[in-house]
Structures are given as C-alpha cells and as structure tokens.
Amino acid sequence: MSPIGPLRDLHLLPRTRDSWTFLYLEHAKIEQDGRSVAAFEASGRVPIPCASLGTLMLGPGTTVTHAAIRALAETGCLVMWTGEAGVRFYAQGMGETRSARRLLRQAALVSHPAARMAIVRRMYTIRFAEPVDDDLTLRQVRGMEGVRVREAYARASRESGLPWAGRSYQRDRWDAADPVNRALSAANSALYGVVQAAIVSAGYSPGLGFIHTGKQLSFVYDIADLYKVDLTIPIAFEAVAAGGGDLERRVRTRCRDVFHASRLVELILPDIDAVLGAAADIDVAAFDEDVAYPGGLWDPGAASVAGGTNYGEADQPDGRP
C-alpha cells in the first residue's frame, strides 16, 4: 500500500510498530487498576492494554486519574483529549522517545526553503503511480493531486452506489453534514490519531508541517494525506452504504480493523523517515535509556558537548567556578 520502500534499520524505530492503533472512550472514568489501567463505565470495567496501545482518545464525559496518566506515559501510550466521536483535537500527552534529534532535523528542513520545497514535491509525487515530470511547477503538481483525490471520491461513489456532491462540512454544525461527509470526518480523525501517535512517538513535531502550515497538527495532516485515498475514503463510503445506526462508531470500528489489517502503524515511521531522508543518521536509543538524563549542551563548534548537572571548571559560564 505504501509507495515508499521499507525502512533500512528497524532498530531505529520505537516500539510503536508493535502497538495497536487507537482506542476511543467517552463517558467513562479511567483509573489505575492494579498494575494496569481500566475504564469504568455504567456497563462495567473495561481493561485498557496501555502497554500495547498507540493512542488513547478521550472523548466528552471522561475523567482520568493522575496514576492512570502516569502509567500511560510510562508505557508510551499517547493520550489525546478530543471532541465527540474523536472529531476535534484539544490536547495531547507525550510519546515514547526523549531524543530531540528527529525534531531538530525536521526543524532544520522546514526552515530551509530549498529543502522544504524538495520535501513538499516528494510528498506530492509519491502519491502517484507514475513519476512526475520535474519540469512541472508546484501549482501544477497540486492540481494533479486534486484530480487524483476527486477521482477517488467518484470511484468510491460508483462502487458504493452512494451519491456524492463534494466534500462539505462545518465543524460547529456536525449534524448538518450528509452521512458520507460525517463518515469521512470520523474516519480521518481516527487516522489523524494514529499518525500523530507515530509522529510523537518517534520524536517529530506534529506542528512542523511542510505542505500544511500554521496548525499544531500540520505535520499530521501532511503524513495522513499519504493514506486517505487507500484507507479512509473507502471506509467512509462502505460504512454509509452498509446502513445502520451510530454511524460514527461503526466508522471507528471499521478504521480499527482496516488499520490493523493494512499494518498501518508499521508503515508510518518508515514513510516519514524516507520522505525526510532522516532514517540513516539518527540513533535515539541512548537518549531513551534514561528519560531523566538532561542530554548534551549546544556548542558553536560542534553539534553538542557533554553536559549534566555539573560543569567542568573550563566550561563554567563566564569562567566562574
């Protein structure tokens, strides 16, 4: 499914490749339960496999204890506070790695106009089955991408037998959208959660986007767009065509199954590293062995020098002992 080749060294990945994708909860109380975490609802107790879960999405009516958040953070499970059905994002917790190397490289690339342009073109062109002529302008490539997405909607409409009048929804009037648009929003939200969990887990910033910009999830939107045509568009149309109540819940359930079957979590980080060209020279293991270790100190003559709670005499600021 992914147009990008496999990762060269799997040891560069955090444990997110072995994780389940996401779990959405609402109207529940999340507490530490022995050595694990559980959600307590009116229907009873639901164990949360935090050690093997990529993202826990907390919807309206949820409360969570300090002990539960600590347990989730220690196991590397990203916690997201979302709106109803997971279609709005309010806040997030932390991922697995404590290394800033991927973040620093991402910041350098997004701040360099030529490097950013090369990555933007790469993000667009990998979505096409055939190579894109280098002589095409970025605006022309974006036009080709628009055609590709519109054809994907039209194909899903034909295959499902559902009419399609275009993508349209209002965030403050959720019920005003037609069922297909609501299903698309719910499916994309689930995809964003999984992509964001992978991004944060690997040490990238969700806010430093290359194509998208100005939002805290700009990079999430960049990467999620690699998968929508293959995943969320078919899921949304199929869910609406199948009929039945509680559309958003059925969409989330279908997303969970399809994401697992397509091994999405295993694709995201190799795809990001391949797009940014950042896989070969990054080793995050040393930073993650001791999460409390402060790391190195910036030095103008080198990338960093050894640091810690004490300085050597020669390294004291202003020469002070």
Residue 185 in contact with residue 251, Cβ under 8 Å? no
Is the pLDDT at 159 greater than 90? The verdict is yes
CA distance 257 to 167: 24
Helices and strands, counts by H and E, the chain: 10, 10
If pLDDT is split at 50, 70 and 90, which confidence band does 314 have?
Answer: very low
Cβ atoms within 10 Å of 118's Cβ, excluding its own: 14
Rg (CA), the chain: 22
Tens of pLDDT, residues 77-115: 878 887 775 556 677 676 666 677 888 889 999 999 999
Instruction: Annotate 152-209 with DSSP letters as a single string.
Output: HHHHHHHHHT---------TT-GGGS-HHHHHHHHHHHHHHHHHHHHHHHHT--TT--
Tens of pLDDT, residues 193-226: 888 878 887 788 999 999 999 988 899 999 999 9
Which H helix or E strand runs over 231?
none
Tens of pLDDT, residues 274-313: 888 754 444 444 444 555 555 666 666 655 555 554 444 4
CA distance 27 to 59: 7
Cα of 223 vs its chain's centroid, Å: 7
Q: Which tokens go with 278?
A: 């950042």
pTM beyond 0.95: the answer is: no
